[in-house]
Amino acid sequence: MLDDRKLTVLRAIVEDYVSTTEPVGSKSLVDRHHFDVSPATIRNDMAVLEEQGFIAQPHTSAGRIPTDKGYRLFVDRLSSVKPLSAAERRAIETFLAGAYNLDDVVMRTVRLLVQLTRQVAVVQYPSLTRSAIRHIELVPLTPQKLLLVLITDTGRVEQCTVDLPDPWDDASVSHVRAVVNTCLGGHKLSDAAAMVSDLAERIPAGERTNANAVLAVLLASLVERNEEKIVFGGAANLAAHDFSKGLREVLEALEEQVVLMRLLGEATEPAILTVRIGAENEVAGLQSTSVVSTWYGNADQPLAKLGVLGPTRMDYPGTMGAVGAVARYVGQILAES
Amino acid sequence: MLDDRKLTVLRAIVEDYVSTTEPVGSKSLVDRHHFDVSPATIRNDMAVLEEQGFIAQPHTSAGRIPTDKGYRLFVDRLSSVKPLSAAERRAIETFLAGAYNLDDVVMRTVRLLVQLTRQVAVVQYPSLTRSAIRHIELVPLTPQKLLLVLITDTGRVEQCTVDLPDPWDDASVSHVRAVVNTCLGGHKLSDAAAMVSDLAERIPAGERTNANAVLAVLLASLVERNEEKIVFGGAANLAAHDFSKGLREVLEALEEQVVLMRLLGEATEPAILTVRIGAENEVAGLQSTSVVSTWYGNADQPLAKLGVLGPTRMDYPGTMGAVGAVARYVGQILAES
DNA sequence: CTTAGCACTCGGGACCTATGAGTGCCAAGG
DNA sequence: CCTTGGCACTCATAGGTCCCGAGTGCTAAG
């Protein structure tokens, strides 16, 4: 029902609309792409495409613009991810290699994506629960208060102050620190919570109240509270496009951590690019935007997600290329440290 | 040359314009504020105010709007900081008290300012150089690579990975860690750099290459690189106002760390609110905005700055009240931990 | 199925006008 | 000298009209 030419027409409409921002008509279509048929023929095709819901006209006497469904077909069947140029790949590599800690890696990743796509970039920190404990440090602040610092193998460093039920001397702290590190070190944080109960036996009764109770609670709450660490950048790029819903709504959505998380979407297969187009996006207020996201991390161990948000009228092949490439390089960089 | 009534007129113009966003004319002025003179008299006053550059008319047959100079006079002489309501103060206190680490305090502070002022909030992390070292942790990653974690008395935790010239065993690491902490602990970071040279003598020759060289370099670079940690929030509030220069420019400026730093301005006396109005702002692209900023921290020891950015047409008394109050409470919270 | 021809639609720009808020100025009054 | 009512003037804005042209759908012929 959709022959080859109709698909080609749809592709042409999407490409033209994305680059010009203006509804595209049958005439300009045959001009720019060398179709060897007349505008009238194209019009017939367009009528069919419209009937099927792939394109629409803003008003009667205007050209056509793609619908969400049209973009969907375009992404699924009519386009291929555009690989980055060699120069761009080199730029990514060197820029990321300059990072000296995780915060810096994440920040640079955001910048990279913003630069490459000229849109809004969203990057999630490596999941805590999926990470393994590299080291736990306890720093006494006062006799009844200490600072817990958690360091994971993915480079995340999280901190939390703890109020102790009983006063504690330095020796006890050192002892508990040693026990905690030998027992929990190297284990995934998701397993650690369960192991805390075993830990109690290895700690003398005098220290148990503090150590056991407090640490168990703290590890859990620290992990839960920080699981969803996520940042974005490139908001200025939103101002360039005009959103029907007003960009205030979009900006508000972006400033909500929870919304950002949902934006990157539920689990999909790692190493696959996910594209959400317009209304496919469940987040209210972002239904005139599209999101291209993917996992990053080693092939065997996905760490977290990153993505790009822009108007539905975006350069999908280019954006997908950039997101894919950046995710790959970030994975490499983190694997090395 | 500016008698009392003229000043009152200016104040009324500022207040009306801020609340209505529309040029204010002589008639509406006498209506809303009960002047006991006629519009004509006010017109005369306005002519004088305009001649002196405190107000201007967008076009011939429109009312007047304040100029930067007009706002300046208003802030300096015609208004007083509006104290927050008891409810607001309580809200601030409880919201900030819920924070469990420095990142959380800063994040909540941003949110608070955004909520209270409905504008853009900018908060700087406590200065590293001004802070004292509470603990330094060295975590071996590989024999030739380790993670340096720096914890300050202001609650900042900074990390950095280090490549070592020679391989290192755990014992050496522990030893150096102990030495470093006893020597540097409690000292200001600004002094620490200088003390690193003395440190060398206490470390056996075998470990010196690694310890001395690497630590010295690292402390310095870590401090320098992270000195300017600063975040902002509330960009969505910019969309509500319309900036002559387009808000794209403003958003772009906000995403630059360097610009954010300059925004909070050079050193002024602690505990004093600084107000920069329109063109007083040196940052290009932000000359149609005003910034209200101040130091936070204990009275004796300023930690860093925070502030609010909005259109020149902002509620100065209210904004100043909010900024001042939040700064005070943040200082308290940080002093307690 | 393709194509040329043709009538039709309708958004947007150009142009005009009416409206009215707001002004500056002046002359008279306190 | 300050204040005030009166008055002519200005000009941005909103609404109305007109026209143009890009783009369409339909039809009939190739």
DSSP labels, A221-253? HHHHHHTT-EEEE-THHHHHS--TT-HHHHHHH
First-to-last alpha carbon distance for chain B, in angstroms, is 53
Residue A6 to residue A8: CA distance in whole angstroms: 5
Q: How far is A34 from chain B (nearest CA, A)?
A: 38
* Helices and strands: H and E segment counts in chain B: 14, 10
- Tell me how far CA of residue A287 lies from CA of A259, A275, A309, B11, in angstroms: 13, 13, 11, 44
In chain B (337 residues long), the average pLDDT of successive 10-residue segments reads 90 96 94 91 96 94 95 96 96 92 95 97 92 89 86 89 83 86 86 76 73 70 77 93 77 93 80 91 90 89 93 97 96 85
Hey, is the C-beta of B225 within 8 angstroms of any chain A C-beta? yes
Closest CA to A30 of A56, A50, A8: A8
* Side-chain-side CA neighbours of residue B248 (13 Å): 9
Q: Which tokens belong to A103?
A: 């915060």
CA–C1' distance A241–D23 (Å)? 25
In this structure, is the CB of residue A23 within 7 Å of any atom belonging to strand D?
Answer: yes
- Which H/E stretch holds residue A172? helix A170-184
Distance, C-alpha B113 to centroid of its chain: 11
Hey, is the C-beta of B255 within 8 angstroms of any chain A C-beta? yes
**Would you say B140 and B116 are in contact if contact means Cβ atoms under 8 Å apart?**
no
Q: What is the reported pLDDT for B213? A: 64
Residue A164 to residue A244: CA distance in whole angstroms: 53
Query: Which of B157, B233, B236 lies closest to A159 in CB terms?
Result: B157
Rg (CA), chain B: 26
Determine how many CB atoms are found less than 10 A away from the CB of residue B2. Answer: 15
Hey, is the C-beta of A132 within 8 angstroms of any chain B C-beta? no
Query: In chain A, which residue's Cα lies nearest the Cα of B232?
Result: A255
| Residues on chain A touching B246 (C-beta within 8 angstroms) | 239
pLDDT digits 0-9 by tens, B117-151: 999 999 999 988 888 899 999 888 888 888 889 99
CA–C1' distance A73–C3 (Å)? 29
CA–C1' distance A44–C27 (Å)? 77
- Tell me how far CA of residue B155 lies from CA of A185, B177, B221, in angstroms: 24, 20, 19
Hey, is the C-beta of B1 within 8 angstroms of any chain A C-beta? no
Protein-proximal positions, strand D, CB < 7 A: 3-6, 9-12, 21-27
Q: What is the pLDDT along chain A (337 residues), one digit of tens a residue?
A: 688 999 999 999 999 999 999 999 999 999 999 888 999 999 999 999 999 999 999 998 899 999 999 999 999 999 999 999 999 999 999 999 988 889 999 999 999 999 999 999 999 999 888 888 999 998 888 888 888 899 998 889 988 888 888 888 888 888 888 888 888 888 888 888 778 777 777 777 777 777 776 677 667 777 777 778 999 999 999 988 866 567 889 999 999 999 999 999 876 777 789 999 999 998 888 989 999 999 998 877 889 999 999 999 999 999 999 999 999 999 999 887 6
In this structure, is the CB of residue B301 within 7 Å of any atom belonging to strand D?
Answer: no
pTM above 0.85, yes or no: yes
Nucleic strand C contact set for B 4-23 (CB, < 7 Å)? 23
**Would you say B273 and B75 are in contact if contact means Cβ atoms under 8 Å apart?**
no
Residue bearing tokens 């505008």: A39
Q: Which tokens belong to B337?
A: 């931990």
Q: What is the reported pLDDT for A244? A: 57
Q: Which tokens belong to A248?
A: 């205030």
Hey, is the C-beta of A97 within 8 angstroms of any chain B C-beta? no
Q: What is the reported pLDDT for B77? A: 95
Query: Which of B145, B225, B337 lies closest to A161 in CB terms?
Result: B337
| Residues on chain A touching B239 (C-beta within 8 angstroms) | 246-248, 251
Query: In chain B, which residue's Cα lies nearest the Cα of A154?
Result: B141
Q: What is the reported pLDDT for B185? A: 85
| DSSP conformational letter for A63 | -
Nucleic strand C contact set for A 27-66 (CB, < 7 Å)? 36-38, 40-41, 44, 59-62
Query: Which of B157, B161, B251 lies closest to A235 in CB terms?
Result: B251
Q: Is the dihedral of CA B88, B93, B94, B95 positive or negative?
A: positive
Hey, is the C-beta of B247 within 8 angstroms of any chain A C-beta? yes
| Residues on chain A touching B100 (C-beta within 8 angstroms) | 160-161, 225
Determine how many CB atoms are found less than 10 A away from the CB of residue B200. Answer: 14
Query: Which of B157, B246, B251 lies closest to A149 in CB terms?
Result: B157
Nucleotide nearest to B40 (CA to C1'): D4
pLDDT digits 0-9 by tens, A4-21: 999 999 999 999 999 999
Determine how many CB atoms are found less than 10 A away from the CB of residue A149. Answer: 22
Q: How far is B160 from chain A (nearest CA, A)?
A: 5
Query: In chain A, which residue's Cα lies nearest the Cα of B238?
Result: A248
Hey, is the C-beta of A335 within 8 angstroms of any chain B C-beta? no
Put simply, the chain B residues between 142 and 161 with a CB less than 8 A from any chain A CB are 145, 147, 149, 151, 155, 157-161
